[in-house]
Amino acid sequence: MRKTLLMSTVIAALAAPVIAPAAAFAQASTATGAVGGAAVGAVVGGPVGAVVGGVVGAGVGAAAEPPQEVRTYVMKERRPSVRMEQEVVVGRQLPPSVTLYDIPQNSEYEYTVVNDRRVIVEPKTRKVVYIVE
């Protein structure tokens, strides 16, 4: 029992630095999150770590992906692309000079086009939460 508890504590301590960035910059489906989490967990903690990592990864993937209707709407809309020198990545905050556009019937997200890439943004923080590919 003591060995199992120690192993769980070690897995959690080793996995946290790997999982935390994934949570902050996750852009994946639930399946991708589960696979990625399982792979990281397996490296860190063997079979038990793979199970724990898969569950955590699936949760991160599910939380990070805007609903399909939001992604579909963003793909259909035509907006001019804004140029930025910085690479557009999930988690990066867009400057105030970048115009964000509303998504009808969804106040949780807004969108824009940066460097010819359609991005879905959290309006309050202006952080990119999803890049539509």
pLDDT in tens, 18-67: 454 444 444 444 555 555 565 555 666 677 666 656 665 555 554 568 99
> Do 59 and 72 lie in a common domain?
no
How far is it, in rounded angstroms, from Cα 132 to Cα 121? 11
pLDDT, residue 34, reads 56
Number of domains in the chain: 2
How far is it, in rounded angstroms, from Cα 71 to Cα 103? 10
How far is it, in rounded angstroms, from Cα 49 to Cα 113? 39
**E strand or H helix that includes residue 129:** strand 127-132
> Do 76 and 45 lie in a common domain?
no
Look-up: residue for tokens 């038990």?
48
> Do 26 and 60 lie in a common domain?
yes
> Do 19 and 42 lie in a common domain?
yes
Q: Which domain holds residue 114?
A: 68-132
pTM of the entire predicted model: 0.55
> Do 73 and 98 lie in a common domain?
yes
